[in-house]
Structures are given as C-alpha cells and as structure tokens.
Structure 1
Amino acid sequence: MALLSLDNVSKSYGRKAVLNGVSLTFPVGLTLLVGPSGAGKSTLLRLLATAERPDHGAIAWDGAALPAARATLRATLGYAPQAVDLPEDLTAREFARHMASLKGLDLGTADAQFLGLADAVGLHADVNGRIASYSGGMRRRLVFVQALLGQPQLLALDEPTAELDGETARKLGALIVDRAREAVVVMTTHLSDELAPHAVQVLRVDGGQVLPA
C-alpha cells in the first residue's frame, strides 16, 4: 500500500524549476533518492516533510490530501534535514525531550527510547553534554536520533550518514533498514550502493523529474 503519494507536483525557486510535474508513490519500505548535487533531492524531502509547499499539484498521506492532512502527517513524521540550527545551550538529552514534547510523545517513554538510540549510534557517553561542545558528526547523529523518536510512520532523511565514519554510518544504516520494515522511509545518502539491496525503490532526481534509477 502506498501511504504517501505525489500527483503532478512542481516546485520552483524564482525561474529555476526544481521539480516539474512529478507523480510518485511511496510504499512502506526504504526509498533511496539519488542524483547530482542541486538536482532537487533535498527539495523533495522538504515537501514530503511539509517544511515547504508545492507550487502546483497535490501530496497525500494515507489517502488524505495536504494541507488538510498536514497535522495527521506531522504527528507521525520524523525529519532529519542536512542543516539544522540546534540549541547550543541545551544538552542532547534536553533537546531530545524538547523534540519529544513537540511531537506529543510520552516523555518518559521517549527518554528511554532516546537513550537506547544514543547508545546504538555511539552518543551514550555524551547525552548530558551541551550541544555547543558537539562535533559535526555528533550533531548529525543527534539530529538522526531525534527523527526516530516515537517510531514515526514517515521518515525523511537527508544525508544522515554524512560526516560519519564507516562503522557509525553502518550502524545508522541498520537502524534505517529496521524502521523501514514498518514505515515509509525516504532518504538521500552517499551509501546508496550499500543500502540499495534493502530498498523497495531507488529513484533518480534530475532535470526536474523523478524516475526509477
């Protein structure tokens, strides 16, 4: 079943058409987005995560079109963009609790889940450290972990393994594959060759179009 779909979606910035009449379905499972830098992969993820709206066309979640279904989608969304301004004065654990609160999650359950995920990606020793002291790779892992809180049914991930060493990237990959057993997971990654065997589809974004790779 395709929980997420796009119907004739277009998005432009000024005179540059980034996506042009794109129609797609995203079933439960892992969908990989590949293509050259600047082709529109991040734009597509922002549209799916309701961070932006299309200029034309419709996006639907579980049979209901946006914007009417926006609140329903956001209630089960996990989003990890490439760039995000993190609150430097908070600890990682405080930030996770804040995100859990925004998602309406039970804070005790979310805290326990956060600690387990932090351990899985190698952040367990640093969860009470302030984000100001975090390296780029640690920030990337934190953004990834917050996206998984609440076991979202839609997970949009933009290069979640960037700036990570090979072993840590593989740990994130394993968590992504596991979540994709129950959720719609759409992601861009430089590890597409390694994750492609686990994907239900690999799509190439280029020239305003999104087609099977």
Structure 2
Amino acid sequence: MMLTVTRLSRSYRRKAVLAGVSAHFPVGLSLLVGPSGAGKSTLLRLIATAEKPDGGVIGWEGVPLPRARAALRRTLGYAPQAVDLPEELTGREFAMHMAALKGLDLRTADAQFGAITDRIGLHADINGRIATYSGGMRRRLVFAQALLGTPRLLVLDEPTAELDAETAHHVGLLILERAQEACVIMTTHLADALAPQAVQVLRVEAGKMTAAS
C-alpha cells in the first residue's frame, strides 16, 4: 500500500470531524463520497500535510509521518477546494512559483504546464493575470499546478467543481491517466461517473469511513 491512515482523528472547537478513521490507499483512484461537512476535505488536508491530526498515524510507503513527511511532500500534488491565489500574478507565473517550491526543473515544468492547460482549455489564458480569472479558470489553474512533476500522490478536492461538462470530462481523463501510476485520492460531484474506474469508493460520514455500497 502506498498510503495508509490509521485511527486518524481531528476536531475543531471540541467537535469531532474525524474519529478514528483508517484506510489503505494503493496505486489507482480512490474516491471519497459523503454529505457536505462530513470531513472529506479535512481528511484530504491531513493527507496533504496541510494540517496535523489530533491523533492517529499517516504512513507513506511504509514509513510513518512525521518521518516520511519530506518524502511525501516531494511527490505530492495537492489541489484544495478553496485557495487564496495571488491576484497580481499570471497563471503561468503562479504555476512556475509552485514548480519552484516543489524543486522542479522550471523548463520542464513550463512545458508540462502548457500541455496540461492545453488539454483543459486554459492555455490561451495562462499569461493573463489571475485577478481576471473566473471561478472555473481558477479551478483549472489549481488542478494544473497539482499535476506538475507527475506526482505519485495526488490529492484532489472537488477538482471538477465550476467546470462545464466538456472540461470536467477532460480533467477526469487526466486524473485517470495519472491514476495508472499514482495514488490518487479525490472528492468530486462526478463520483458516480468515475466509480467504475476507481479501485475503491469510501464513504465519509459522522466522523467515520466505510466502503461505499
């Protein structure tokens, strides 16, 4: 198993959002489903090391965090549902900034960014300032930067929200391609369409996680 979570818990203001969640995430697409506010985004933030759990263990390739945190982050692609983007930068400048933070070769990352944005209908706008971007364009930009460096762990929180059906389809194809080699963990309103290609569908509700029926 590439990534494991064992008895993971997280509370906010003494309210338990996750209560002893355990799961294995292998290579392939793992879908998280469940009602709004059930803890899916919280689980993704914990896996992406954007937050620390109150209890439990996250393991990456058999090594627990925090010992494996640096190795996990080196190969992580993360697209959160909500993110404050630097309005003054162009889409391309933001992507290259993220590539630099990941330690990627910028020439290679720039070529990869161009190829990804071409497939999801953003390429014509990458040199425009983010301040001029619509919600759907911002969503595509965040998704594109997550794919830079061909990460082996891809954590995606509603990457197809605010996208038209055709663009969402192309985003889905890119996700499935990456899932051939990577551990992809995702929430999406298109879960029913992607479920046949997923290695597992897990339901998060009331702080617990179970296999979806």
- Scaled by the length of structure 1, the TM-score of the pair is 0.99
The residue identity in structure 2 corresponding to 1:78 is G
How far, CA to CA, are the matches of 1:47 and 1:173 in structure 2? 23
Count of aligned pairs between the two proteins: 212
What percentage of residue pairs aligned between the two structures are identical?
72
1:26 equivalent in structure 2:
25
How far, CA to CA, are the matches of 1:19 and 1:178 in structure 2? 30
Alignment of 1:175-190 (within 5 A): 175-190=174-189
How far, CA to CA, are the matches of 1:15 and 1:8 in structure 2? 18
Query: Helix, strand or coil for the counterpart of 1:51?
Result: coil
Alignment of 1:81-100 (within 5 A): 81-100=80-99
Q: Is the counterpart of residue 196 in structure 1 residue 212 in structure 2?
A: no
Give per-residue Cα distances to partners, 1:102-159, cap 9 Å, x unaligned.
Answer: 0000000000000000100001111111111000000000000000000000000000
Q: Is the counterpart of residue 68 in structure 1 residue 67 in structure 2?
A: yes
1:138 equivalent in structure 2:
137
Q: Could you list the structure 1 runs, at least 4 aligned residues long, displaced by more than 4 angstroms after superposition.
A: none
Unaligned runs of 5+ in 1: none
| 1:161 positional shift | 0.3
2:150 equivalent in structure 1:
151
The residue identity in structure 2 corresponding to 1:128 is N
1:59 equivalent in structure 2:
58
The residue identity in structure 1 corresponding to 2:91 is A
What is the RMSD computed on CA atoms of the aligned residues? Answer: 0.5
Alignment of 1:100-179 (within 5 A): 100-179=99-178
| 1:22 positional shift | 1.1
| 1:178 positional shift | 0.4
Query: Helix, strand or coil for the counterpart of 1:31?
Result: strand
How far, CA to CA, are the matches of 1:90 and 1:9 in structure 2? 37
Give per-residue Cα distances to partners, 1:75-101, cap 9 Å, x unaligned.
Answer: 000000011011111111111110000
Query: Helix, strand or coil for the counterpart of 2:20?
Result: strand
Query: Helix, strand or coil for the counterpart of 1:147?
Result: helix
| 1:15 positional shift | 2.0
1:210 equivalent in structure 2:
209
Query: Helix, strand or coil for the counterpart of 1:151?
Result: coil
| 1:23 positional shift | 1.3
The residue identity in structure 2 corresponding to 1:122 is G
Unaligned runs of 5+ in 2: none
- Scaled by the length of structure 2, the TM-score of the pair is 0.99
